[in-house]
Amino acid sequence: MQTYISSLEELKSYLNTRYGVENQSPTTYISSAAHLTKQNTLPFPESLLTEDETGGVVGFPLRIPYYYADLIDWKNPRDPLRLIAMPQKAEENIQPYELTDPIGDHEKEAVPGLIHRYPDRCLLLLTSHCKIHCRFCFRREVVGKVRPVNFAAIKEYLLAHPEIREVIFSGGDPGTFPAAFLDNIRRQLSGVMHIERWRFHTRVPAVDPQSITAQWLSVVEKFIGKKIIVIHTDHPNELTKEVASLVAQLLQKNILVLSQSVLLKGVNADVETLKNFFTQLVAVGIKPYYLHHLDQAHGTSHFRISIVEGKNIFTSLRGNLSSVCMPEYVLDLPGGYGKVPIMWLEQISPQQYKARTFEGKEVLYTDQGVTSF
Ligand code: SF4
Give me the pLDDT at residue 147, please: 84
Give me the pLDDT at residue 42, please: 75
Q: Three-state SS for 344?
A: helix
DSSP secondary structure letter of residue 305 = B
Give me the pLDDT at residue 44, please: 85
Q: Measure 144 CA to ligand 1 centroid, in angstroms.
A: 10
Give me the pLDDT at residue 40, please: 52
CA torsion, ordered 83, 369, 361, 292, to nearest 10 deg: -30
Confirm or reject: Cβ of 232 under 6 Å from ligand 1.
yes
290 within 8 A of 261, measured Cβ to Cβ: yes
Confirm or reject: Cβ of 173 under 6 Å from ligand 1.
yes
Give me the pLDDT at residue 59, please: 83
Give me the pLDDT at residue 29, please: 37
Mean pLDDT by 10 residues, the chain (373 residues): 91 93 47 45 84 79 97 97 95 92 91 96 96 95 88 96 98 95 96 96 98 98 97 98 98 98 98 98 98 96 97 95 97 94 95 94 92 69
Among 226, 168, 219, which Cα is nearest to 197's? 226
Among 60, 48, 58, 63, which Cα is nearest to 10's? 63
The residues, ordered by sequence, that sit 6+ positions from 82 with a Cβ below 8 Å of its Cβ are: 72, 73, 74, 76
Give me the pLDDT at residue 41, please: 64
Among 165, 155, 59, which Cα is nearest to 113's? 155
What is the Cα Rg of the chain in Å?
22
Which domains are delineated in the chain?
Answer: 4-92 (no CATH), 106-337 (3.20.20.70)
Give me the pLDDT at residue 263, please: 98
Among 87, 86, 178, which Cα is nearest to 129's? 178
Question: Which uninterrupted H or E stretch holds 332?
Answer: strand 328-333
DSSP string, 112-135: TTEEEEETTEEEE------SS--T
What positions carry a catalytic annotation?
117-118, 121, 130, 134, 137, 139, 295, 332, 339
Among 260, 284, 295, which Cα is nearest to 365's? 295
Report the residue among 6, 103, 170, 173 best suited for mutation to probe ligand 1: largest number of ligand atoms under 8 A from its CB: 173
Give me the pLDDT at residue 330, please: 98
Q: Measure 21 CA to ligand 1 centroid, in angstroms.
A: 34
- Give, using CA atoms, the residue closest to atom 8 of ligand 1: 137
